[in-house]
Structure 1
């Protein structure tokens, strides 16, 4: 190889070392940047020139022409990145379900001194006082007031469940808007990556990966990478992002808890009205599941159904006994509770008796001071299928489901954290490793520069001193 060829080889070495230092500096600068994936310079040896012509020397040994910088590789891992998205989908779904159960439990507030169970005990105790002192206005007023407080507490609890459902729908709507925004941003990044004209687009890929991770957490989306470097985002097997185009989604269905039975909340494609999005996971699937009808496992609807069942059982059992009793004046007792028509039982329960004289406590033919029926009403709290048993079963089921959802959320969160940790272990920047690389490239740069110096001295000897004697 001629001295001039060696100059070119040394120059290539300088460029390669400089590129390595530049990339190492980029890694160090982004050590704390969320979503950044470390990069490395890809190098390959340049093959020697092939001599042509009849005058070539068949046994002449030729060296290569140095090093070539082929590009800057992004040291990600498609499998680990897909695992992060998959586990984020499960974590998003489970966390929303668990949060819905926690909210329902907080509304119920059981066991406590201010819960419905405590109000039931006070109500039964008031009836026992009536049984002990039948015909007394004071005890009559107390039982009416306790009944009103119980009905109000049931209605208030159910109203709070409905309000929580409304908030969940509002949050779901916000997530839908976020999904459409993220999808548009992914499409824009796809376009920018296509327009990079062979330049390095690693940072754009990192940004796009962060967006697709968020989409996976929201919708359970998966991705498919095309040969041109763009990414398609699929939700339920359908394209949310198709290269540089997007298909938006929208939330439809009932806007009230009580309307979900006939018109459940759904996510559908905006460009295909009536075509539901088949969510495989993610926060939106969790919201839709929590807002579903009670028959489909809806958290809020099941909670509201518990209040309705209690109100229905309470009115039915108490009215059956009260209607068979007589008031102090000898009149038939009639209904003690009333259920307003056209509204759910939990919201429409009210006290039909408005005065102590209307409280019926005695059995027919037993005299004006008989309190046997009031005693029987007080004993409803101990019945195996009475109001207390109905409420206790509902609260127990809610607690069991909440515990199960919380456990699933913990497992999903641990899986998601482990997936993120594995990805970061592979692709995150290590300052120790970058320090070693920096020293390596620094020494390579110094070595290439020393080659240039040596060749320069050789050429100086050849050009300026060849043929000169005595110097």
Structure 2
């Protein structure tokens, strides 16, 4: 015969189960707008039944049910989508940073405009053409001197701004590397806390959400792969072997922090850690682009310095855009500018030759030993290259943005809290709770009759 109190025990479990479900709904609603929070659900099951008590095998059909039980409270998360999101957001960060810095390079070169480098180059050689028409004109020599000063200052200004941008990127790399190191340290701490809690049999859902959010942030800055082991997350870079670096070993708690004091643009590495994607990769690629444009700028400046000095001795001094300047004698007075070689009135031979340099082939564009490119062609090739890189970076950023948005929406559809759904669940669990309470009331009434009423006689 079954126990008189069996129903109370079953309903007690029902109250606990439905109360746990209601508490989980409350937790979901409270964190509906919490960054990185994953919706939690209660997994319920029938509590293991009992054979009907008897001296031998029971003759009653079935087993004695004992109500319901909470197996676990789990978070709604898709690890496959997490991996996809991190890989794509890492590429998104790379192209976003690169596009931003290419835009800054474009703004520095400022082409086309009235103050751009191509404009001042053309004005400089035009002033020599005007001098060739009036070789003895002091005012024409003043214009040559002034346009030369503008040319020098423009080269210096562009070189200085490009170097400033390069230094700014260095500071950003240091800052981002420090942020990555800090996040890795936080994940290491969470690994220990999660392991301690889950050894007791619970799911550390909220701590796991925090840890995954930190990994998402790291993935925006540097390529990272995640392995979830018994001791927590192990983080590695995705560079192919033997360049893979273990950023965090969950088994030993060993961390390999990024060292921004050593940056290699040639290998796209920071402190020996090769970076294949993320904002840090975008910064390294931007530094390479800046170096390339500074080299081309120096080549252009040296072409002007050497070709002009080859016709008018000691007109320019310096090597490269940053140190290019006028010879002190020219800077001191325009009267030191020579129009011709003989010194005779009307001799315009030097002025004509310098003016003609604008159309002369000065550079070897294919590095094949053939001089085949003019100043204008060289500079326009440089600007065209920048335009191509900008358009490509913009396309890649937009493409990655679309991919990241799509995957992010899929993640949100699984993990985000829906207030409407939670309210529906609340009503469902509330009705179940109330029904269990009513059953308890009914059983209590039966027991009261058995205990207090059945033994009475009139």
Report the TM-score when normalising by structure 1: 0.87
Q: What secondary structure does 1:252 align onto?
A: coil
Matched, 1:337 2:316: yes
By how many angstroms is 1:59 displaced?
Answer: 4.1
Q: What secondary structure does 1:455 align onto?
A: helix
- Do the aligned residues in 2 keep the contact of 1:252 with 1:265 (CA within 8 Å)? no
Change (3 A) 1:225 1:162: same
- Do the aligned residues in 2 keep the contact of 1:158 with 1:307 (CA within 8 Å)? yes
Partner of 2:302: 312
Partner of 2:260: 251
Partner of 2:51: 50
Matched, 1:417 2:405: yes
Looking at structure 2, the residues matched to 413 and 56 of structure 1 have their Cα atoms a distance apart, in angstroms, of 67
Looking at structure 2, the residues matched to 241 and 52 of structure 1 have their Cα atoms a distance apart, in angstroms, of 56
- Do the aligned residues in 1 keep the contact of 2:187 with 2:214 (CA within 8 Å)? yes
- Do the aligned residues in 1 keep the contact of 2:90 with 2:223 (CA within 8 Å)? yes
Partner of 1:450: 438
- Do the aligned residues in 1 keep the contact of 2:28 with 2:40 (CA within 8 Å)? yes
Partner of 2:169: 168
Task: Show CA shifts across 1:261-310 (max 9, x none).
Answer: 8x987412xxxxxxx2122211112222222xxxxxx1110121221121
By how many angstroms is 1:104 displaced?
Answer: 0.8
Q: What secondary structure does 2:273 align onto?
A: coil
Looking at structure 1, the residues matched to 39 and 342 of structure 2 have their Cα atoms a distance apart, in angstroms, of 88
Return 5+ residue gaps in structure 2 as ranges: 239-243, 362-372
Number of residue pairs the alignment of both structures matches:
434
Partner of 1:178: 179
Larger CA deviation: 156-165 vs 380-389:
380-389
Task: Show CA shifts across 1:39-84 (max 9, x none).
Answer: 0111111122135765332344433110011121111111111112
Looking at structure 1, the residues matched to 58 and 296 of structure 2 have their Cα atoms a distance apart, in angstroms, of 97
Matched, 1:348 2:323: yes
Looking at structure 2, the residues matched to 418 and 265 of structure 1 have their Cα atoms a distance apart, in angstroms, of 29
By how many angstroms is 1:335 displaced?
Answer: 3.9
Looking at structure 2, the residues matched to 408 and 444 of structure 1 have their Cα atoms a distance apart, in angstroms, of 53
Looking at structure 2, the residues matched to 424 and 34 of structure 1 have their Cα atoms a distance apart, in angstroms, of 11
Partner of 1:331: none
- Do the aligned residues in 1 keep the contact of 2:124 with 2:148 (CA within 8 Å)? yes
By how many angstroms is 1:394 displaced?
Answer: 0.9
Looking at structure 2, the residues matched to 311 and 61 of structure 1 have their Cα atoms a distance apart, in angstroms, of 95
CA-based RMSD? 2.2
Matched, 1:40 2:41: yes
Partner of 1:405: 393
Looking at structure 2, the residues matched to 418 and 364 of structure 1 have their Cα atoms a distance apart, in angstroms, of 75
Partner of 1:281: 277
Return 5+ residue gaps in structure 1 as ranges: 255-259, 269-275, 292-297, 324-333
- Do the aligned residues in 1 keep the contact of 2:51 with 2:64 (CA within 8 Å)? no
Looking at structure 2, the residues matched to 418 and 307 of structure 1 have their Cα atoms a distance apart, in angstroms, of 42
Task: Show CA shifts across 1:85-123 (max 9, x none).
Answer: 111211111112112211111111111111111111221
Matches within 5 A, 1:56-455: 56-196=57-197, 197-228=200-231, 230-236=232-238, 237-243=244-250, 244-253=253-262, 266-268=269-271, 276-291=272-287, 298-320=288-310, 322-323=311-312, 334-340=313-319, 345-352=320-327, 354=330, 355-362=333-340, 368-383=345-360, 385-455=373-443
- Do the aligned residues in 2 keep the contact of 1:383 with 1:389 (CA within 8 Å)? no
Looking at structure 1, the residues matched to 437 and 417 of structure 2 have their Cα atoms a distance apart, in angstroms, of 29
By how many angstroms is 1:246 displaced?
Answer: 2.0
By how many angstroms is 1:358 displaced?
Answer: 3.5
By how many angstroms is 1:364 displaced?
Answer: 6.1
- Do the aligned residues in 2 keep the contact of 1:94 with 1:405 (CA within 8 Å)? yes
